[in-house]
Amino acid sequence: MNIQDLSATVRGIKINYKIAGIGQPILILHGWRHSSEHWEQVAHFLASKFQVILLDLPGFGKSQDPNFGWTISDYKDFVLETIKELDIKGCILLGHSFGGRIAIKIAVANTGDISKLILCDSAGVNLEISAKKKIVIAVSKFFSTIFNNKITGGFYKFIQGLVYKILKSDDYNLVSPVMREVFANATKEDLYPIIPDIKIPTLIIWGELDKATPLKNALAINQKINGSKLEIIKGIGHSPQLKAPQQVADLIINFFYGSSNN
């Protein structure tokens, strides 16, 4: 399989993306502290049926950081503009973990830019989360409500950073300052209330042993999206694209084309 490594500039931000295969386009949005490289194995198995587009989201991989601490809505707008810039027509959108947050927002917006949705161990639904994550979300919500001006905003970031450091949150501590703001903005937003507004065909793929976004969340998403299909990968955790790439690809191909052997 030949993967083209390409670049483009969208909203003044230089982004990296990869393309492989031919057929209906499927745009894949990776998870937090991941990049397009983490989906190359899946792309290898999908390339016979799809044109696979692997995007390094701003702030990840080889793409530039956003120019301020974006919200998920900012990422949604950026991805939609990227779809137009790259002239991707009728694409299937796949979001994993953090990328799933963005994919949910795009699907709910219902702009007509995507035809189908795949959520893979998606973040954004705060039904069952660890005690540490509950504290992170509570801190983000509390301080962002109280410290909402430039004077106290610096103190908010200091306190927030101190809490994350104490909690040893690598997702916060091991990224750039602007991406720490993105992380804080993302974690405080619960997307569960808007899940029923997704009206396009949806496939949900989930690792049975996922501790970051537990299976209970997948079951709830499946119940809220009318007509959606849930596929559970046994014995796998939060990143099935790394542990079982062929199985992930087969589930996608089977969902859209029938038996993966056809």
Query: 167 or 157: which carries more pLDDT confidence?
Result: 157
Instruction: Determine the length of the chain.
Output: 262
- pTM exceeds cut of 0.75: yes
Categorize the per-residue pLDDT at 5 as very low, low, confident or very high, splitting at 50, 70 and 90: very high
Confidence of residue 242 (pLDDT cuts 50, 70, 90): very high
Q: Which one-letter DSSP state was computed for residue 123?
A: -
pLDDT at 80 over 60: yes
CB atoms inside a 10 Å sphere around CB 69 = 19
What pLDDT, on the 0 to 100 scale, is given for residue 130?
56
Residue type at 140 in one-letter notation = S
Taking residues 74-97, what's their average pLDDT? Answer: 97
Domain ranges of the chain: 4-125+190-257, 131-187
In which band, very low, low, confident or very high, does the pLDDT at 171 lie, cut at 50, 70 and 90? confident
pLDDT classification of 139: cutoffs 50, 70, 90:
low
- Mean pLDDT (the chain, rounded): 88
The model's pLDDT over 190-220, given as tens digits with 9 standing for 90+, comes to 999 999 999 999 999 999 999 999 999 999 9
> Strand, helix or coil at 35?
coil
Encode 217-247: b = buried (16+ Cβ within 10 Å), e = exposed.
bbbebbebbeebebbbbeebbbbbbeebbeb
- Transcribe 36-104 into DSSP letters: GGGGHHHHHHHTTTEEEEEE--TTSTTSPPPSS---HHHHHHHHHHHHHHTT--SEEEEEETHHHHHHH
**Distances from the Cα of 95 to the Cα of 28, 52, 223, angstroms:** 6, 13, 18
CATH 3.40.50.2300 correct for 4-125+190-257: no
- Return the minimum-mean-pLDDT range out of 10-24, 40-54, 141-155: 141-155
DSSP tally for the chain: helices H, then strands E: 10, 8
